[in-house]
Amino acid sequence: MILKTIFLIVPLLLILIIGGGFLVTGDFFKESPQICFLEPLEKTSIDLYYACEDFDEENPIKITKIDQDELVLLSLELINEDREKYNSPLVELGTSSTAQEHAEELLNICKTSYWSNNGMKPYMRYSAAGGDGAINENIAVIGTPEIQKYWTQENLEQIIAWNQHSMVERDELNEFRHAMNILHDDHNYVNVGIAWSNFCVTIVHQFEDRYVEWKQKPILTLNNEFILAGQVNFNATIEQIDIFYDPIPMPLSDQELMSSPPLYGFGHICSHIMCSDGSLPVATVLPNSDSNLGPDVLEGIMNQNNPANSDNVPLFVAHKWEITHGEDFTTFAIEEDLERLLKLTGKGVYTVLVWASPADNPSDGMVLTTISIFFL
């Protein structure tokens, strides 16, 4: 006889039944191995339900074929439907493999983590794989290690649609951070990662802002020179460059990944142990705003007298800040000596955020890069 059970999956992953001083846990029950099937799921459903039954060793279940490429295209289609609904420009499918690699890595823990086993955060992974724009990442993990599941193409398509709707329309617990990322006007590409195991499904959306053709991606030379040069594909004002510092990433255990924060940020104040909702640069590079003063003189004055710099972020005035504007492009070449910073912070990961605004809309600031330099 095949025994069937209905499971309701809710955010609480562990329920302990306590009565009369007797503690009952999952190890107390000796049930036959079971396999669980997702009940029909609408995108507006609140919870996921599974129907479970004992394994039938005489009639094993045949594995169905699942087309991963179709799942990725479905995810892209749903993202663009929501962006169109909320008047955001459509995005194209990106070419970075880091979203898929992280989705597959998360199958080991069946839990959300923005950190990898090698200790890297999303912008580090993206940069190490050759990414040259700015990124922001969403992650979802559906399912738990408690019960084995049987997935079909239809199941996974339903989960993708349900997750997309939940992130955009029901993201109150995350203060709609997922929704704001999905709908952000500056995104023009998205890298999609989708993976599944017998226990969970992982979905990674890595949104990209790619507007720069690089002549020289940001680097730190052995002489402590910070150099970058390229062309923005619209007429832009490059306002400043913020530099964030992370210590050299160290390998993390599965337990450390499972207990990592539910969000991430740039720099050293956000680690796998604790992360506040904010980021603090270790340096800001600015153009020379006073042609009567040399960069070194102006830099000294600004660091001493700038009342807005209450966080004591060192300010650097670039020795070279060459900008050329065209009707629909802007070229730039920027160089600065960061020896003063590097003596203080030393080896680590320096992430470069170039801030710019369109010439026809100066109030609409945006980040052109989240490129990490591994200064080891």
Look up tokens 């109150």; give the residue.
172
Q: Does domain 212-256+279-375 have CATH number 3.40.190?
A: no
Buried b (16+ CB within 10 A) or exposed e, 95-108: ebebbbbbbbbbbe
pLDDT (0 to 100) of residue 297? 65
Q: What is the pLDDT of residue 102?
A: 98
Cα 191 → chain centroid: 10
Assess whether the region 68-209 and the region 212-256+279-375 belong to the same CATH fold.
Answer: no
Residue 167's closest CA among 285, 75, 72, 265? 75
Q: CA–CA separation, 258 vs 10, rounded Å?
A: 18
Which sequence spans correspond to the domains of the chain? 4-54, 68-209, 212-256+279-375
Q: What Rg value do the Cα atoms of the chain yield, rounded?
A: 25
pLDDT computed for residue 21 by the predictor: 33
Query: What are the structure tokens assigned to 113, written together?
Result: 């983590």
Separation CA 261–CA 245 (nearest Å): 19
Query: How many whole angstroms separate alpha carbon 342 and alpha carbon 339?
Result: 5
Length of the chain: 376
Instruction: Give the per-residue pLDDT at 302.
Output: 66
Reported as a single tens digit per residue, the pLDDT across 189-221 is 999 999 999 999 999 999 999 999 999 999 999
Which positions ≥6 away from 33 have C-beta within 8 Å?
54, 55, 148
Buried b (16+ CB within 10 A) or exposed e, 322-339: eeeeeeeebebbbbbbbe
Longest dimension (CA), the chain: 90
Beta bridge partners of 246: 349
pLDDT digits 0-9 by tens, 164-193: 999 999 999 888 999 999 999 999 999 999
Beta strands 34-38 and 149-150 are parallel
The stretches of 274-358 forming alpha helices (DSSP H) are 295-305, 339-345
Between the two ends of the chain, the Cα-to-Cα distance in Å is 62
Which runs of E-coded beta strand occur in 56-133? Answer: 92-93
* Spatial separation of the C-alpha atoms in residues 316 and 288, rounded to whole Å: 9
Q: In whole angstroms, give the CA distance from residue 139 to residue 136.
A: 10
Low-confidence ranges of the chain (pLDDT < 70): 1-32, 290-294, 297-299, 301-302, 304-311
* DSSP codes of every residue in 27-51: GG--PPPEEEEEPP--TT-SSEEEE
CA distance 331 to 212: 9
Distance between CA atoms of residues 115 and 105, nearest Å: 10
The top-level CATH class assigned to 68-209 is alpha beta
